[in-house]
Chain A
Amino acid sequence: MKLQRKSLRTVAVAATASMAFILTGCLGASSSTDGDDITLEYWDHSGNADEQEMIRQILTDFEDSHPGISVDFLSLPADSALQKLNTAISSGSTPDVSSISGSMLSPFVAQDALEPLDERLADSELAAGLDEGSIEAVKADAGGSLFSLPFTIGSAALWYRSDWFEDAGLNGIQTWDDFYSAADHFTDSEDGTYGFTLRGGSGGVFPLLQYMYAYSGVDELFTDDGVSTIDDQANIDAVERYIALYKTATPEADLNNGFAQMVEQFDSGQVAMLQHNLGSLANHEAALPDKFEAAMFPPSVDGPNVVLSDPIQQYVMYSSTDHPDEAWELIEYLMSAGVNSTVNELKGQLPVNLDARDEPWVGSLQALSAARDLLASPDTVVFAPPLYLPEYSDVIRNDMEPMLQQLLSGEISANDFLGHLADALTVAQSAYDERAGGN
């Protein structure tokens, strides 16, 4: 018995010692030894598995060209990046630099999480080489100051089956009437093919707004009095014409369509046209090589090209960084022509660095060269969604997405739909102006 008690005690002591040993770091990540070297943390918000290797190579090249600086890279899954970053901000554990999507900028600025970049950009060689419109758009989202640098531009496009159009003797989509007649022409519900596909499910409101402003030609979101233009009669007419396509030129199941279903419908040959941004270029290239093209939105019925821009992806530096100068060097490197070109070539989107836009690969991609030409045109009016309004995302997601399905089902009118959104944004803008005036 004594021997057994002793062996039990020995086992207990050994187990406790083992736990302590393991607890102190056997299951942890290796920490970098610094010395005089600086280690930066860079987080990527997009979580694209195919881009991780490219980003690692870019960061390795940065380390090689910047001795004494190493970069720890973390790719965050796209659908949980915001949650991770918000938790990091709340707990004071943010990285030095990260990429973010456009909808993240305003809440991060409101939490004082980001380092201002106005002076750094003004003193940088980059200043003259970046797309001014994108810089102004992100400044507007952040209340007038620069807290981020945009690095890629996605543009809404009308993807269409160029092979079908050629067989039908159609010359692309030059006007909105071309679009609607093509939608009607290619619809054969008995055969299961349709002219168009609508996004009635998650994320469907913003594409509708992009189409609406492009069709109507209304070129501002708010009047000078701060009243939303969303329920302008021209916009109501645009939406009424658009939703008339549902079930007449689109599948009935579009009521619940997200972007994945829409893209799948187009890539599988079920529909002739798709409205989606440049981000789906790679999907179409894989599924329909040489069988599709992209048309930018035609000029509005009033004449000008109006573009409600997609949320812009940006690089930010966090105010909690211990190495702001080195973090800025990393951002400058990422925004340089060569790197910005590499990143966007893989994404299939338009670079913000103007020298990168002149690269041959941009001109070789029909969709990108069309987007580049549209944005460069003096007749194009570009404005951004009001991401600076804290209520915007909530209203769109929680109010308008369910109402969009009611609109498509015919339960409410376009007037009611747009009126609700316009009222909500007008109130939000008024509150924003009051806060800004109070500060």
Chain B
Amino acid sequence: MSTTDSGLSTRALIQPRRRRQKEEMPKREPGFHLRITLPLIVFLIITLVPFYWMILFAFRPEGSTSLIPIPFTLDNFVYVWEVLGYDVFFKNSVIVAVLSMICTTVISVMGGYALARYAFRGRGGVMVMLLCTQFIPGAMMLIPLYSIFNTLGLVNNLWSLIIANVVFELPLTVILMSSFISKIPFELEEAAMVDGCSRLRGFLLIVLPQMRPALVAVGSFTFIGAWNTFLFALMFLSKQELFTVPVGLGYTIGENSVQYGAMAAGGLVAAVPVVIVFAFIQKYLVQGLSGAIKG
């Protein structure tokens, strides 16, 4: 074997290029498509058809019976935004959803850490009580909550919605956070404290970064729950300029008629933020919900 000036062997130079081998598809057992693929396709169609219906009605003119949105129009969106007042409803929904998300996430992290790391008397009872609150439907609490907010001067104030959303989301999110934090080895925090960190600093530097999936899961579900809140928004607010998108959607249903185009356009406006949130956080969702940690 001779070598070239660059030191490469001739054999290396003349080695034929290996063809990349096609990855072979795994062989499916007979009936796989019938058992799995076909039902999935049916489920997909059932899930997507209502969404397509909404898009169809939102973008086609009133009275059109076409199965595709042609002629294409934005009149319904203009109507809901300018006539029904969706610009105000949307702004209120964003405020309520974002603040609910921030408050719930912060408090649930603190509460979850306490439940996961501290062994205090009544800890088990607290967990059970948190779970028991899930049995109470929100509608049952309407009157007492209204009285409380009335006393606090929070009726006709978006904070009544935010507080109500936080209160109802906290039990489950605290338990979720507690479960997630308990899977993070305490030794990591101990190591940080040995290096001179306080408990809080250790939590912020060591534990919190590893909780990203849980934070995203809790934050997203809280955002979506607060975004879709209808009953509290209707009952605690008596000023039209404070209503949120779900309440605003109700204005498309009149006493004697339903404005399907406006309703579909309003529904799309309500759905788009939720879809965007899910699109960005979907990879964190499974991790967060299963309590898995990286590495």
Which of A28, A47, A90, A91 is within 8 Å of B157, CB to CB?
A28
Which of B65, B159, B254 is within 8 Å of A268, CB to CB?
B65
Q: Is the CB of A78 within 8 A of B159?
A: no
Query: Contacts of A43 on B, CB cut-off 8 Å?
Result: 238
With A28-B159, A93-B155 known to touch, is A74 a contact of B255 (CB < 8 Å)?
no
Distance (whole angstroms) from the CB of B109 to the closest CB of chain A: 15
Query: Contacts of A28 on B, CB cut-off 8 Å?
Result: 154, 156-159, 242
Query: Contacts of A393 on B, CB cut-off 8 Å?
Result: none
With A29-B242, A84-B234 known to touch, is A47 a contact of B159 (CB < 8 Å)?
no
Selected interface stretch from B34-42, B245-253, B285-293: B245-253
Query: Contacts of A286 on B, CB cut-off 8 Å?
Result: 63
Q: Is the CB of A74 within 8 A of B240?
A: yes
Of B200, B250, B252, most A-chain CB atoms within 10 Å: B250
Q: Is the CB of A77 within 8 A of B239?
A: no
A409 within 8 A of B: no
Query: Contacts of A259 on B, CB cut-off 8 Å?
Result: 256
What 1/0 flags go to A1-30 for Cβ under 8 Å of B? Answer: 100110010000000000000110101110
Distance (whole angstroms) from the CB of A86 to the closest CB of chain B: 10
A79 within 8 A of B: yes
A260 within 8 A of B: yes
Distance (whole angstroms) from the CB of B77 to the closest CB of chain A: 14
Which of B157, B196, B247 is within 8 Å of A25, CB to CB?
B157
Q: Is the CB of A277 within 8 A of B238?
A: no
With A28-B156, A49-B83 known to touch, is A80 a contact of B254 (CB < 8 Å)?
no
Which of A47, A83, A87, A93 is within 8 Å of B255, CB to CB?
A47
Which of A78, A90, A283 is within 8 Å of B253, CB to CB?
A78
Query: Contacts of B241 on A, CB cut-off 8 Å?
Result: 29
Q: Is the CB of B251 within 8 A of A75?
A: yes
Q: Is the CB of B250 within 8 A of A77?
A: yes
What 1/0 flags go to B56-84 for Cβ under 8 Å of A? Answer: 00000001010000000000000000011
Q: Is the CB of A87 within 8 A of B250?
A: no
Selected interface stretch from B17-25, B118-126, B139-147, B182-190: B139-147
Q: How far is the CA of A72 from the CA of B237 in the complex (A)?
A: 13
With A47-B250, A49-B252, A79-B253 known to touch, is A87 a contact of B143 (CB < 8 Å)?
yes
Distance (whole angstroms) from the CB of B21 to the closest CB of chain A: 57
Q: Is the CB of A87 within 8 A of B155?
A: no
Of A5, A49, A87, most B-chain CB atoms within 10 Å: A49
Could you tell me which residues of chain A, from 79 to 117, have a CB within 8 Å of some CB in chain B?
79-80, 83-84, 87-88, 90-91, 93, 95, 101
Q: Is the CB of B257 within 8 A of A47?
A: no
Q: Is the CB of B257 within 8 A of A27?
A: no
Distance (whole angstroms) from the CB of B38 to the closest CB of chain A: 28
B258 within 8 A of A: yes
Q: How far is the CA of A245 from the CA of B234 in the complex (A)?
A: 42
What 1/0 flags go to B146-165 for Cβ under 8 Å of A? Answer: 11001000111111001000
**B contact residues, total (Cβ < 8 Å):** 42
Which of B63, B238, B250, B257 is within 8 Å of A93, CB to CB?
B238
With A22-B159, A28-B156, A84-B235 known to touch, is A49 a contact of B258 (CB < 8 Å)?
no
Q: How far is the CA of A283 from the CA of B251 in the complex (A)?
A: 17
Q: Is the CB of A49 within 8 A of B254?
A: yes
Q: How far is the CA of A289 from the CA of B119 in the complex (A)?
A: 76
A280 within 8 A of B: yes
- Which partner residue on chain B sits nearest A348 by CB separation? B256
A263 within 8 A of B: yes
B95 within 8 A of A: yes
Could you tell me which residues of chain A, from 277 to 313, have a CB within 8 Å of some CB in chain B?
277, 279-280, 282-283, 286-287
Of A41, A77, A84, A87, most B-chain CB atoms within 10 Å: A77
Query: Contacts of B156 on A, CB cut-off 8 Å?
Result: 28-29
Query: Contacts of B154 on A, CB cut-off 8 Å?
Result: 23, 28
With A80-B234, A84-B235, A93-B150 known to touch, is A29 a contact of B251 (CB < 8 Å)?
no
Query: Contacts of A131 on B, CB cut-off 8 Å?
Result: none
Q: How far is the CA of A87 from the CA of B146 in the complex (A)?
A: 9
Of B240, B241, B247, B262, most A-chain CB atoms within 10 Å: B240
A267 within 8 A of B: yes
Q: Is the CB of A27 within 8 A of B157?
A: yes
Q: Is the CB of B157 within 8 A of A80?
A: no
Q: How far is the CA of A4 from the CA of B198 in the complex (A)?
A: 11
Could you tell me which residues of chain B, from 161 to 201, have a CB within 8 Å of some CB in chain A?
162, 196, 198, 200-201
A233 within 8 A of B: no
Query: Contacts of A93 on B, CB cut-off 8 Å?
Result: 146, 150, 155, 238
Q: Is the CB of B63 within 8 A of A267?
A: yes
Q: How far is the CA of A46 from the CA of B83 in the complex (A)?
A: 16
Q: How far is the CA of A87 from the CA of B238 in the complex (A)?
A: 12
With A49-B84, A77-B247 known to touch, is A27 a contact of B159 (CB < 8 Å)?
yes
Query: Contacts of A73 on B, CB cut-off 8 Å?
Result: 240
A145 within 8 A of B: no
Query: Contacts of A277 on B, CB cut-off 8 Å?
Result: 256
Query: Contacts of A48 on B, CB cut-off 8 Å?
Result: 254-255
Q: How far is the CA of A48 from the CA of B254 in the complex (A)?
A: 5
- Which partner residue on chain B sits nearest A260 by CB separation? B258
Query: Contacts of A84 on B, CB cut-off 8 Å?
Result: 234-235
- Which partner residue on chain B sits nearest A73 by CB separation? B240
Q: How far is the CA of A329 from the CA of B242 in the complex (A)?
A: 28
Which of B146, B158, B254 is within 8 Å of A78, CB to CB?
B254
Identify the B interface with A (CB < 8 A).
63, 65, 83-84, 95, 142-143, 146-147, 150, 154-159, 162, 196, 198, 200-201, 234-235, 238-242, 247, 249-260, 262
* Additional 12 contacts, C-beta under 8 A, given A77-B250, A268-B65: A5-B198, A27-B95, A48-B255, A49-B251, A50-B254, A77-B247, A80-B247, A83-B235, A260-B258, A268-B63, A279-B255, A280-B257
A selection of 17 A-B contacts at a CB cut-off of 8 Å is A1-B196, A22-B159, A27-B157, A27-B159, A28-B154, A29-B156, A29-B157, A29-B239, A47-B250, A47-B254, A49-B252, A50-B254, A80-B247, A87-B146, A93-B150, A95-B238, A279-B255
**Top 5 A-B pairs, shortest CB-CB distance:** A77-B250, A279-B256, A28-B157, A27-B158, A29-B239
